[in-house]
A and B are shown apart, each in its own frame.
Chain A
């Protein structure tokens, strides 16, 4: 099986930088996704990491360390609209290729 851990909630200030961590344990690893989900809306794809290192995409970056079972999503220059839930999802190699989603981190950005 898989265990995915994320903080339940985080708060940050507009304009600041926030790092949302995700740790996982899985027998076999084949990729990690980050999704953003505003309340009552669909999850929106943010990033995909399968190799170690940092992937940068505008204000958002995602980092992966496979040896540590660890990823983070870095959000820079926070805006009020970044208030949302951020879901980490891990896909296993072999067997089921369907990603398993973590419970999500609710980020609250305040002025």
Chain B
């Protein structure tokens, strides 16, 4: 158990819908990273927040957005969902931001039908 929690564990929805994934980092960690993992793409970095501020963006679609709240939990919002958005979404946390080892949560499996 990494200490990072993610909810929900599974999510099934339809195309065109919007969902919110939630992540709580390890106690004391200020950084939250979001990743998408699909069978054909591997682990793809989406976005990084540090102490409430966006620090880096990766291959994140405009339909996706995220935020980190004052209590340091983070939410990833996915809208206008498409079949290709079906994937495992992982959140990871770390202590200092740049140069951190990342500890991953259990992930949310999103299925878009």
Instruction: Give the interface of A toward B (CB within 8 A).
Output: 30-31, 33, 35, 40-45, 48, 87, 91, 96-104
Instruction: Give the interface of B toward A (CB within 8 A).
Output: 2, 4, 33, 42-45, 48, 56, 58, 88, 90, 97-99, 101-107, 109
Whether B101 pairs with A33 at a CB distance below 8 angstroms is yes
Whether B101 pairs with A48 at a CB distance below 8 angstroms is yes
A-B interface contact total, Cβ < 8 Å: 47
Residue from B58, B90, B101 within 8 A of A98 (CB atoms): B58
> Chain A CB within 10 Å — which of B2, B48, B102, B105 has the most?
B102
Whether A43 pairs with B45 at a CB distance below 8 angstroms is no
Residue from A40, A42, A102 within 8 A of B105 (CB atoms): A42
Whether B33 pairs with A98 at a CB distance below 8 angstroms is yes
Q: Separation in Å of the B79 CB from the closest CB of chain A?
A: 24
Whether B42 pairs with A101 at a CB distance below 8 angstroms is yes
Q: Which residues of B contact A103 (CB under 8 A)?
A: 42
